[in-house]
Amino acid sequence: SPESLKVMLDEFGKAMTSLHRLAAFVGNILDRPILNPSHSTPEQNPPPLTYEAYAAGLSNLLKLFSADLIDLEKIVRDKKVTFTLLDLKMKLLPWFRILNCLASFHSRAVDSVMINQEDDKVEKRNWKAAIILLSSLNEAIGSEFKDDMYAIYVDLFLKTIAPYFRIMGLWVSQGRLEDWRDEFIFAVNPEFHTSQMRLQSQNAQYGASDDEELDVDSASEIQCYGLQETFWTRGFLSRPYFTALETHSLQVPEIFEWTLPRILTCGKSIEILTILQKQGKLEKSSAMQFKYHVSFTQLYDEFIENVKKSLEDHKIEQEGDKVNNDESVKENLHLLPEVKDVIEDSSNYD
């Protein structure tokens, strides 16, 4: 009947709208032109690397959907079996649910942040967008009960958090806080940097020696001068991420509650030791011991290994569960690998 056809086509329309929204975001992030920062406007500034990693994860999902469509197209083209519009709907129904769920999540975690920043007419804050996306993914993992969506959110979270771990890993292993997209919740204090650079210029003008106390905010500049106590207290800023998350009714991910304060302390400590080593102010025996024994990627690699171990029990329960008769879930499991395979795949993301 016309009514039933309308209902069916409405389902197609809703899913295609979700697909278009996700594909448009992926294209805007991954296919954006490379502009000279000096000639770009705030709206053209590059997005956080967490957004690029998230977009890459979405792109993989859309490619899986495209592959399934190609398989269905082959069935229709071969004309060996009867394949009606209802058959097409039943085959794509699992994907419709996935696309609609992802579009709804994307609207809360990404679109709402971008709209609020445009309304406020302020410079886009990559750090706020990054922490809200990570916290939203963490919340989605904790509340999801469908196997396929759980695997998708885990996959997206592990890909999206990788740039954060690289920033933290480099800071705590080599003493360099390098945040090229201004997305990390800790940052070098620009006011401290400006005042210390003026102080450096004044001391250089009067012939300051290496023993005089003078500090700046990067190891490459400060290694020629001394350190002041204010480097520890004023050298770095902690951005108001708690307030940003409360505005969006989000909780700080549990992994960050324990980790971030320690990362701040450890990062500042390693940076000071790195500076002292470059100045030659460490004893020879201590300087020999203070080497870069840890790769900046080791933090993320060990995190992935710990996640694998924690999910082993979950995987065993899945394999031993003989009660679940939800055919739609079983039919959907081919869309994505098992959780373990998803994690192994995400560890290869650069």
Tell me the C-alpha to C-alpha distance, in Å, between residue 38 and each of 44, 148, 178, 194: 11, 44, 20, 20
Q: What is the pLDDT of residue 117?
A: 58
10 Å CB burial of residue 169 (0-12, 13-18, 19+) is: buried
Q: What is the pLDDT of residue 334?
A: 40
Q: What is the pLDDT of residue 291?
A: 56
Which two structure tokens, joined as six digits, stand for 162? 């990788």
Distance CA 15, CA 311 (A): 31
3-state secondary structure of 237: strand
Distance CA 164, CA 296 (A): 12
The model's pTM is: 0.78
Closest residue by Cα to residue 94 from 150, 15, 23, 6: 15
Cβ atoms of 343 and 307 closer than 8 Å: yes
Q: What is the pLDDT of residue 315?
A: 57
- No. of helices (H) and no. of strands (E), the chain: 16, 2
Distance CA 63, CA 44 (A): 27
Distance CA 258, CA 238 (A): 15
Distance CA 65, CA 152 (A): 13
Q: What is the pLDDT of residue 295?
A: 72
pLDDT, one tens digit for every residue, the chain (350 residues):
777 788 888 888 999 999 999 999 999 999 887 666 555 555 567 899 999 999 999 999 999 999 999 999 998 888 888 888 888 888 999 999 999 999 999 999 998 887 665 544 444 589 999 999 999 999 999 999 888 899 999 999 999 999 999 999 999 888 888 998 999 999 988 776 555 545 555 555 544 433 343 334 444 454 445 566 677 888 888 999 999 999 889 999 988 888 899 999 998 888 888 877 777 776 655 545 555 556 778 888 888 888 877 777 655 444 444 444 444 433 443 444 434 454 444 444 33
Cβ atoms of 163 and 133 closer than 8 Å: no
Distance CA 320, CA 298 (A): 33
Buried b (16+ CB within 10 A) or exposed e, 23-55: eebbeebeeeeeeeeeeeeeeeebbbbbbbbbb
3-state secondary structure of 186: strand
Radius of gyration of the chain (CA): 25
